[in-house]
Amino acid sequence: MDNQYKELCEKLIKTHSLSLGEYETLIGQRDEEAAKFLAGEASRVSRSIYGNQIFVRGLIEISNICKNDCLYCGIRRSNRNCERYRLSPEEILECADVGYQLGYRTIVMQGGEDGFFTDEVVCGLIKKIKEAHPDVAVTLSLGERSRESYQAMFDAGADRYLLRHETADEEHYKKLHPDFMSFQNRMECLKNLKEIGYQVGCGFMVGSPYQTNAHLAKDLKFIEEFKPDMCGIGPFIPHHDTPFKDEPQGTVELTCFLLSVIRLIYPPVLLPATTALGTIDPMGREKGVLSGANVIMPNLSPVDVRKQYELYDNKICTGEESAECRGCLENRMRSIGYEISLTRGDIQK
Q: Which is nearer to ligand SAH, 183 or 236 (CB)?
A: 236
Q: Which of 183, 178, 148 is nearest to 165 (CA)?
A: 183
Decide if 150 contacts 193 (C-beta within 8 A).
yes
Smallest gap from Cβ 236 to ligand SAH, in A, equals: 5
Residue type, position 268, single letter: P
CB of 163 to ligand SAH, least distance (A): 5
Beta carbon nearer to ligand SAH, 131 or 246: 246
Q: How far apart are CA 284 and CA 332, in angstroms?
A: 11
Cβ of residue 160: shortest distance to ligand SAH, in angstroms?
A: 13
Which residues contact ligand SAH (rule: CB under 6 A)?
A: 72-73, 110, 112-113, 141, 143, 163-164, 166, 205, 234, 236-237, 239, 276, 311-312
Burial environment of residue 135 by CB neighbours within 10 A (0 to 12, 13 to 18, 19 or more): exposed
Q: Give the residue with the Cβ less far from ligand SAH, 14 or 80.
A: 80
DSSP β-bridge partners for residue 160: 139, 199
166 vs 188: CA distance, rounded Å: 14
Q: Whose Cβ is closer to ligand SAH: residue 77's or residue 127's?
A: 77
Q: How far is the CB of 196 from ligand SAH (least distance, A)?
A: 17
**Alpha helix stretches (DSSP H) within 106-202:** 119-132, 147-155, 170-176, 183-196
- Tell me how crowded residue 98 is: count the other CB atoms within 10 A of its CB: 18
CA 155, CA 240: separation in Å to the nearest integer? 40
Q: How far is CA 178 from the centre of its chain?
A: 22
CB of 22 or CB of 144, closer to ligand SAH: 144
Q: Which is nearer to ligand SAH, 41 or 114 (CB)?
A: 114
**Distance between CA atoms of residues 302 and 314, nearest Å:** 18
- CB nearer to ligand SAH: give 173 or 312: 312
Cα separation, 171 vs 2, whole angstroms: 33
